[in-house]
Structure 1
Amino acid sequence: MTKRIRHRDWRWLALWWHHFFALWSTIDGQTRYSIPEELKKGSVVGNLAKDLGLGLSDMFDRKLRVASEAGEQYFSVDMGKGELVVNDRIDREALCGQSASCVLPLQVVIENPLHLYRIEVEIRDVNDNAPKFLSKEKHLKIAELTAVGARYPLETAQDLDVGSNSLKSYSLSKDECFSLKIKELANGRKVPELVLEKTLDREKQGIHQLLLTALDGGNPVKTGTSKITVTVLDNNDNVPVFKKPLYKITVPESSQSGLMLAKVEATDQDEGVNGEIEYSFADHTPEILRSIFQINSATGEIFLKGKLDYENFATHELDISAKDKGIPEMEGHCRVQVEVIDINDNAPEIVLTSQPSPVPEDAPSGTVVALLTARDLDSGDNGKVTLGLPKGSPFKLKPSFSDNYALVTGRNLDRETFSEYNIEITATDSGSPSLSSKKTINVTVTDVNDNPPVFSQPSYDVYLKENGVPGSILYSASASDLDFGENAKVSYSILDSKVQDVSVSSYVYINSDNGSIYSMHSFDYEKLKVFQIQVQAKDQGSPSLSSNATVHVFILDQNDNAPAVIYPSSAAMGSLSHQRMPRSAKAGHLVTKVTAVDADSGHNAWISYRLAEATDASLFTVNLYTGEVRTKRAVSEQDDSSQRLLIEIKDDGEPIQSSTVTVSIILEDGLHEPILDLRHKAAEPSKKTGRITLYLILSLASVSVLSLLTFLILAVKCIRNSRSSSTCCMRRTDSDDYKNPNRNLQIQLNTDGPIKYVEVLGGDMLSQSQSFRSCMSPMSEYSDFTLIKPSSTTDFKEVISVLDASLPDSTWTFESQQVSHANRF
């Protein structure tokens, strides 16, 4: 439309200029040029200066210019060459439309003098436009029962070019059902028509795609096309058909509900309601499958509805039907096979084939304890199971066949360490990730008699007071056995041994069930101080095992002996002791000395003397510790010539034991050497006195050596510890005392001025305790000694030998005591 309006404007302007130049006398004749359209800018149209007879300088001096009657300046003048050149693109169709002739008038104006030239430029058509259809696509609907020969008019094409370049003919793509006919109208216009050449079959070809082509006469030929779609209308004469008769799909068993598994697709060659398909499971589909799967009736998509379990069903088969909505209804079928992929969702399981049996603790390595089987409901690697035991387990797993195992012992067992085992077996599959489970098997270890009874300690020390009641319990020895049952039942017995050449069974007996040891009779410390018992504990296993323990029985002294007077000898025999004393005796004169011994030991044997009665108590005194009888004052003429003294002798025991001695003293005039007579009497040889003298010499020698050693050790000890000189002690360490609690030597020194009394005590766990004393005789002021026999019924030689053998230097503890009269030795 725009091109046509511009074409009219141009014609009006051309007419106006025609009348204007007709009146201008200076207008010269016209020049005509012919050029094709679409020339490039700068293309030469013609040599304007030459054609107008102008020189190049004239064109410049006279100011030549060109004006276009079309209103647009399509041309210009190259003043340097005098040529008319194209100034802009020229489209003939835009300027002249479908007109057969297209001329563009130009005015060339020259001043000084003013002159006007008319120039025409003919624009020749070139084939630059192809034929075009207003609609690129046309749709036709033809029923498949339409008769052959039917005609359907088609759209004509338009070509803007003219002449030989304009539209010339039509063509149709090849189709066996259709052909093209050209119908000419009265105005010379040609209309294409589509002609049906063959009966249509929608099911064979429901749509025909045709291409209508319009051709012009240019060189080269240009074309335009229009797509023609012929839709064949349907009748319900076809059954829905699935693309595949069998669909195979795989899905992991762990898939979640709602997952789309597959899409079945059926086609119906019919159309409309005849081709609308609904999908469904076949009528005979089991309910269990309907609970697992569902199908979209419109799309054929199959979804997972329930939960898959490979272990229950590894494969599912679904029959699917597709029905159209035509009349009559047509139906097609297919089958869907769902293969479930196993995942490792089942933990392995351990099954006991046989219950574990008790195992003796001495069972050899490799003894079968139990049989078991490993299984896994999964398949492939997910179902491959391996069994394992904790590290360090005394058992092993021995594979046999097809996931069967034997639980066997891997080493020797010890019931006393572990009486039973809770064996944790781990089953692990080979899946990814792997799953595992555990099972605990209880295995009992039965006992064998491999442990003897064991006493709480290898030896026991028992302290028993003498004079106890026969039948009283001494001690309860107890042994334990780590075994079990009969193997742990212990019976006790005493091994036969000798005590003072008498069988120990005559002293004690033992309860075989509980190990309690009882005395057979009362013990006398003065006869037996220590003895030992070998106790045996034996179990009731087969063979039986036993062990021994030593019980050391120490008899503790009781104060059951009264002091016995051994001097004067007549007093010891029960008769009255007669002593003579000169009347010239001064104060402090030693009249006599009463000596007594106590068979007991320790404090029970500490003796003191007291003047109980006297004819004249003011004349005599008795030393509390030595028993010496001395005058308190000088004898006077008024004193009776016969004096009688009753001296009481007491020990330090509880209760106190005592005895008395009566001494008769005769005061004589002219008696000058009573002491010499006494010495002579004491020196009278006798068998008993000679033996006592020997004992005295031996004991004093021993005591002297021990006393010297004791004094030296105590002196060093006292200096180191800066302790008082009254009491010094040197002992072993606590650990030594603990190891040897009863091995000691005690030297006790009683002093009343010079040493008058020495007591040596020695003891050992394995030897009898001994004590012996040395006392100064009444004639000590003349260096006479009287030996007191050891406080034991044992011969003194035996005392010395036992003391010497059982008390080595390395185990002795020495004590030195100086006790004042106030402390009472």
Structure 2
Amino acid sequence: MTKRKGNRGWRWLALWWHHFSLFWSTIDAQSRYSIPEELKQGSVVGNLARDLGLGLSDIFDRKMRLASDAGEQYFSVDVGKGELIVKDRIDREALCGQSASCVLPLQIVVENPLQSHRIEVEITDINDNSPSFPTQEINLKIPESVLVGKRFPLESAEDSDVGSNSLKSYSLSKNDYFSLKFKQTKNGQAVPELMLEKPLDREKNALHGLLLSALDGGNPARSGTCKISITVLDNNDNFPVFSENEYKISLKENSTKGTFVIKLTATDADDGLNGEVTYLFGSRTPESVLSTFEINDESGEMLLKGPLDYEISKSYLIDITAKDKGTPEMEGHCRVQVDIEDINDNAPEILLTSKPSPVREDAPRGTVVALISARDSDSGDNGKVVLHLSKTFPFILKPSFSNNYELLTNDPLDREKISQFDIELKAFDSGNPRLSGSTIIAVSITDVNDNPPVFTQSFYNVYLKENGVPGSILYSVSASDLDSGENAKISYSILDSKVQDVSVSSYVYINSDNGSIYSMHSFDYEKLKVFQIQVQAKDQGAHSLSSNATVHVFILDQNDNTPAVIYPTSAALGSLSHQRMPRSAKAGHLVTKVTAVDADSGHNAWISYRLAEATDASLFTVNQYTGEVRTKRAVYEQDDSSQRLLIEIKDDGQPGQSATATVSILLEDGLHEPILDLRHKMSEPSKKTGRITLYLILSLASVSVLSLVTFLILAVKCIRGSRSSGSCCMRRSDCDDYKNPNRNLQIQLNTDGPIKYVEVLGGDMMSQSQSFRSCMSPMSEYSDFTLIKPSSTTDFKEVISVLDASLPDSTWTFESQQVNLLLHTGL
């Protein structure tokens, strides 16, 4: 667009300052500004920080930015000063055409928290466009016979400016034949016409040249000119005449090709060719009209040639010319105004003013997720848009202003259930038929540490063979966390506890990354049978969460102990047992009994006896299970007086362990059988026998009382436990969370072999039992009774002292060996 130089430039500058000084007065509640068009880049429109109540620090910290509905960005925000400035050249005519009001809606978006403000910038017109005619020259052919007062329509000038800067007047150069007149159209527009003031005489002047000027109302005024060339024709002196000078019709924008528009009729008073009329578009008809409409040159019917679009053009002004076939040709003119009626042919559009940011799953209700706007190119009800969610989501839409919405959280979020929402938004207009548009917004949910690690099991049972290699893996525990990232990274540790008064960390350690538990040393079943480990799994979240699991480690017995002979010989003392037997003994005579024990358990402790060597294998036999040595036959006179037996004692483990015992037997004549002698001695009353019997009675009474008290305690605990937990078999201890099994009371009576004992076991099955034994030896002439605790070494020493004081020397040799062996073997 060209501009005048010199004084006109100064005048324009003065006019600009005049408009700029007035734009503050047009601010409507700090949401509307007014500026003249063509402001240079960098010009200040207004102070957004002050008008929106924001500090300069908020402009930068909250990232204020501009989101415009217009296709081109004409403005920008100076974040340093909080001012709205002109970014690009603004041409009001290009933006709003001939519209009386030209307002650009702008949307200001600030974040943290997310907000939007709507402002409007009114673009006022300046006189930067001169009136212009469609053509620079108008050629008219006027017969000389035309009467004075005949009017000839001229093409109107156009001015892109509006208001006072628009077209105001026309002027015609001075001449003797023509004057300038105006005709008012139905829409109030003044169309210039050339009126003949004096009869034409072709012979005097066949060509007339005039200059038509158009002026606007600006200050300073602008003008445009058009040259009019008039050729005076002879003869054909009647013009075709339309029934009306202007026609106005309406068409729907969905009208199809070939739709009838209007039939135009013009009449000519002449005869012959001078009266025959043809119809055509005006010579200056724009291409947009020629591509949309067509006219039958003979009938004057106008038809639709191309598609209509209300959003592109709402109205068409079409000049129609009717020509006769005379010489010279005579023309008649009319104008057809075609108004386009809008139909609902544009679906609503959904625009994201601000893209959604990830939302924390603990975000409170009402958190702004995104800013959304909707628009429709149609007009009236066809352009009214309503936006809503297509399904049920934990979000809602809150209208803000002018088809703008905020997407807010409405319900609690849980990333572990849904980590991303694909929210479908639908927009509906109010037209008929109703049209809709949709879009999908992806909103991702970020994780917070709200789930603790969970073990695959609340407790684990691990079975470990004794004598394992230190550093070998015992078990691998595993836990999972529903959270993600650092919140789901798990580290494992062992909580400190005591095992046999020693920290559990000296027994095992755990790999903190994968939960693998390793042994620190080899385990001995005979010393430790079971222990438990408390494993903790903790995540790496900012506020870490944890959970615990219990690992029960059961040590499995291996056959690593050989049988220990406790009668008749002691491997610890290295002595040889000598037995006496009468020669009068018959077959089946009990010579002695070999007794052995094994520190192992189960099959590994099952002992069998076998006669490995003998002076005379036909004379003696050994019971495989009891170890009793008996005669297989009667003693012959020729049998040697000294017999030697080698007895093998073997356990049932794999591989088996074995030991041997040597028994030396002396055959004598006239020797009484030891069992009869034992019965005889037992029948003799003595003070020591009475004392031992008293001990036995008191011990059995104590055991009975202990059993009764134990049962009463168990009954009371069962009743209390059933009230609190519903079970009398299992109850959680107050000092730890280990579930104790049922307490048991066991009474074992052994009547086989040379050692007679009764054993009372009480306490936890998982702990060492308290044992009370009555030991009686057939080799002693006394019925001995002793209370012992196998778990206490001190008690064994006390037992030894009791035996030493109560038993004769001949008996103590055997009994002391037996007790010492029990002490060594841990029984």
What is the rounded CA distance, in whole Å, between the counterparts of 2:468 and 2:682 in structure 1? 44
Contact 1:236 1:275 in 2 (8 A): no
What is the rounded CA distance, in whole Å, between the counterparts of 1:369 and 1:450 in structure 2? 22
Q: Deviations along 1:781-800, whole A, 9 cap, x unmatched?
A: x9999999999789999xxx
Q: Which residue of 2 aligns with 1:422?
A: 422
Deviation at 1:466, TM superposition (A): 0.6
* Correspondences of 1:435-584 after superposition (within 5 Å): 435-568=435-568, 570=570, 573-584=573-584
Deviation at 1:694, TM superposition (A): 10
SS at match of 2:663: strand
Closer/same/farther in 2, CA of residues 652 and 362 from structure 1, 3 Å limit? same
Deviation at 1:601, TM superposition (A): 0.9
Closer/same/farther in 2, CA of residues 769 and 397 from structure 1, 3 Å limit? farther
Contact 2:749 2:758 in 1 (8 A): yes
Sequence identity of aligned pairs in percent?
68
Deviation at 1:276, TM superposition (A): 2.0
What is the rounded CA distance, in whole Å, between the counterparts of 1:442 and 1:375 in structure 2? 21
What is the rounded CA distance, in whole Å, between the counterparts of 2:701 and 2:551 in structure 1? 34
* Correspondences of 1:319-718 after superposition (within 5 Å): 319-568=319-568, 570=570, 573-675=573-675
Closer/same/farther in 2, CA of residues 496 and 329 from structure 1, 3 Å limit? same
Q: Deviations along 1:461-492, whole A, 9 cap, x unmatched?
A: 11111111111111111111111111111111
Q: Which residue of 2 aligns with 1:203?
A: none
What amino acid sits opposite 1:487 in the alignment?
Answer: N
SS at match of 2:401: coil
Closer/same/farther in 2, CA of residues 236 and 743 from structure 1, 3 Å limit? farther
What TM-score, normalized by structure 2, do the two folds share?
A: 0.57
Contact 2:391 2:424 in 1 (8 A): no
Contact 1:561 1:657 in 2 (8 A): yes
Contact 2:569 2:661 in 1 (8 A): no
Deviation at 1:269, TM superposition (A): 3.2
What is the rounded CA distance, in whole Å, between the counterparts of 2:653 and 2:499 in structure 1? 28
Q: Deviations along 1:207-248, whole A, 9 cap, x unmatched?
A: xxxxxxxxxxxxxxxxxxxxxxxxxxxx95432222222222
Q: Deviations along 1:187-222, whole A, 9 cap, x unmatched?
A: xxxxxxxxxxxxxxxxxxxxxxxxxxxxxxxxxxxx
Contact 1:529 1:769 in 2 (8 A): no
SS at match of 1:400: strand
Contact 2:453 2:480 in 1 (8 A): yes
Structure 1 unaligned runs (5+)?
1-234, 706-731, 733-739, 798-825
Q: Which residue of 1 aligns with 2:311?
A: 311
What is the rounded CA distance, in whole Å, between the counterparts of 1:640 and 1:543 in structure 2? 90
* Correspondences of 1:101-112 after superposition (within 5 Å): none
What amino acid sits opposite 1:250 in the alignment?
Answer: S
Contact 1:609 1:626 in 2 (8 A): yes
SS at match of 2:382: helix
Deviation at 1:768, TM superposition (A): 4.5
SS at match of 2:332: strand
Deviation at 1:778, TM superposition (A): 8.2
Contact 2:569 2:576 in 1 (8 A): no
Deviation at 1:776, TM superposition (A): 11
SS at match of 1:255: coil
Closer/same/farther in 2, CA of residues 685 and 570 from structure 1, 3 Å limit? farther
SS at match of 1:518: strand
What is the rounded CA distance, in whole Å, between the counterparts of 2:356 and 2:701 in structure 1? 79
What TM-score, normalized by structure 1, do the two folds share?
A: 0.57
SS at match of 1:487: helix
What amino acid sits opposite 1:262 in the alignment?
Answer: I
**Cα RMSD for the two superposed structures:** 4.4
What is the rounded CA distance, in whole Å, between the counterparts of 1:572 and 1:558 in structure 2? 23
Deviation at 1:767, TM superposition (A): 3.1
Contact 1:742 1:763 in 2 (8 A): no
Give the aligned length.
527
What amino acid sits opposite 2:521 in the alignment?
Answer: H
**Greater shift after overlay, 373-382 or 669-678?**
669-678
Closer/same/farther in 2, CA of residues 681 and 761 from structure 1, 3 Å limit? closer
Closer/same/farther in 2, CA of residues 597 and 295 from structure 1, 3 Å limit? same
What amino acid sits opposite 1:505 in the alignment?
Answer: S
Closer/same/farther in 2, CA of residues 621 and 292 from structure 1, 3 Å limit? same
Closer/same/farther in 2, CA of residues 332 and 792 from structure 1, 3 Å limit? farther
What is the rounded CA distance, in whole Å, between the counterparts of 1:484 and 1:579 in structure 2? 80
Contact 2:626 2:752 in 1 (8 A): no
SS at match of 2:482: coil
Q: Which residue of 1 aligns with 2:250?
A: 250
Q: Which residue of 2 aligns with 1:729?
A: none
What is the rounded CA distance, in whole Å, between the counterparts of 2:760 and 2:338 in structure 1? 111
Deviation at 1:741, TM superposition (A): 14
Q: Which residue of 1 aligns with 2:34?
A: none
What is the rounded CA distance, in whole Å, between the counterparts of 2:390 and 2:484 in structure 1? 28
Closer/same/farther in 2, CA of residues 617 and 281 from structure 1, 3 Å limit? same
Contact 1:528 1:768 in 2 (8 A): no
What is the rounded CA distance, in whole Å, between the counterparts of 2:393 and 2:645 in structure 1? 92
Deviation at 1:668, TM superposition (A): 1.9
SS at match of 1:647: strand
What amino acid sits opposite 1:251 in the alignment?
Answer: L
What is the rounded CA distance, in whole Å, between the counterparts of 2:694 and 2:433 in structure 1? 104
What amino acid sits opposite 1:336 in the alignment?
Answer: V
Closer/same/farther in 2, CA of residues 304 and 698 from structure 1, 3 Å limit? farther
Deviation at 1:576, TM superposition (A): 1.1
What is the rounded CA distance, in whole Å, between the counterparts of 2:608 and 2:662 in structure 1? 16
Q: Deviations along 1:572-600, whole A, 9 cap, x unmatched?
A: 64311222222221111111111111111
What is the rounded CA distance, in whole Å, between the counterparts of 2:577 and 2:694 in structure 1? 23
Structure 2 unaligned runs (5+)?
1-234, 709-728, 730-738, 797-827
Closer/same/farther in 2, CA of residues 305 and 692 from structure 1, 3 Å limit? farther
What is the rounded CA distance, in whole Å, between the counterparts of 1:611 and 1:519 in structure 2? 43
Deviation at 1:510, TM superposition (A): 0.9
Deviation at 1:676, TM superposition (A): 5.3
* Correspondences of 1:151-230 after superposition (within 5 Å): none
Deviation at 1:530, TM superposition (A): 0.8
What amino acid sits opposite 1:357 in the alignment?
Answer: S
